[in-house]
Amino acid sequence: MKQVTEHVYGVDSGDLTAYLIVLPETVTLIDAGFPGSLGLIEDALQALGRRLGDLRDVLVTHCHPDHAGALAEIERATGAVAWMHPLDAELVRRGQAFREFHPAPGEKNRVFVEEVISKGPQTIEPAEVEHEVEDGGVLPVAGGITAYHLPGHSAGHLCFLWPQDSGILFLGDAANNVEGLNEPPIHEDRSLLLESLRKIGELEFEIACFAHGAPLMGGAAEAFRQRWGARS
């Protein structure tokens, strides 16, 4: 586990980083991790002096197995409720982890699909999603978190903006920072994805927390504008 800001911690589950927002009254989890990640979350809470029951809300950016795979087991152990966009919630409720997708341009991404994604889980344990969130919805969680519908990687992909701790955007897989700021290795619709990346640059946040790759710790919205421009 690594501390990102005063209240935010990253928990690594395979190549995914889930995030905890830790407040005196509640703990919030951003993305559930691969199937079998409950133990990692439990260890992280214990290290913070908190209990499983302190986890009230799980905000899931999208349906893929590294993000929603452990949702059912976490809900069972904690009683936490899940928040998702309706388009991806529908898949998670029936245990479907992917729609049809395509690799991003480049040989490396094609190989990543063949060697990593195709060999990983294609289904997940079906999980309840208690709350469906539309674009611009403000969740009554951690003092208020705004959800933005930013499709392209998946049809129901959400990013979550927490205005505290300087303003943190939790990106999910809308972009990654594995080898610098980049688009994800797969997408369902690349033109929608590129539109979403431009839209992200128009949001107000200083810190970007990625599901894959290190956080950007300042001027993060500006970094998106430099990389992908702003919408015309």
Instruction: Kindly state the smallest distance separating residue 157's Cβ from Zn ion, in Å.
Output: 8
Applying CB under 5 A, the site for Zn ion has a residue count of: 4
Q: Which of residues 143-162 bind Zn ion (CB under 5 A)?
A: none
Q: Taking Cα atoms as reference points, which of 77, 94, 172, 97 lies closest to residue 129?
A: 94
Per-residue interface string for the shown chain with Zn ion, residues 163-202, x marking contact by CB under 5 A: ----------x-----------------------------
Instruction: Kindly state the smallest distance separating residue 219's Cβ from Zn ion, in Å.
Output: 24
Instruction: Kindly state the smallest distance separating residue 31's Cβ from Zn ion, in Å.
Output: 8
Return left, alpha or beta for 48; rule: phi > 0 is left, psi -120 to 50 is alpha, else beta: alpha
Alpha carbons 78 and 20: distance in angstroms, whole number: 14
Instruction: Kindly state the smallest distance separating residue 175's Cβ from Zn ion, in Å.
Output: 11
Q: Which of residues 18-77 bind Zn ion (CB under 5 A)?
A: 64, 66
Instruction: Kindly state the smallest distance separating residue 8's Cβ from Zn ion, in Å.
Output: 18
Alpha carbons 198 and 196: distance in angstroms, whole number: 5
Q: Which residues have C-beta within 8 Å of that of residue 36, sequence separation ≥ 6?
A: 69, 70, 73
Q: Which of residues 205-224 bind Zn ion (CB under 5 A)?
A: 211
In 180-194, which positions are buried (b, 16+ CB within 10 angstroms) versus exposed (e)? ebbbbbbbbbeebbe
Q: The tokens of 111 are what?
A: 């190989």
Per-residue interface string for the shown chain with Zn ion, residues 123-142, x marking contact by CB under 5 A: --------------------
Nearer to Zn ion among residue 54 and residue 176 (C-beta): 176
Alpha carbons 85 and 18: distance in angstroms, whole number: 18
Binding site residues, Zn ion, CB under 5 A? 64, 66, 173, 211
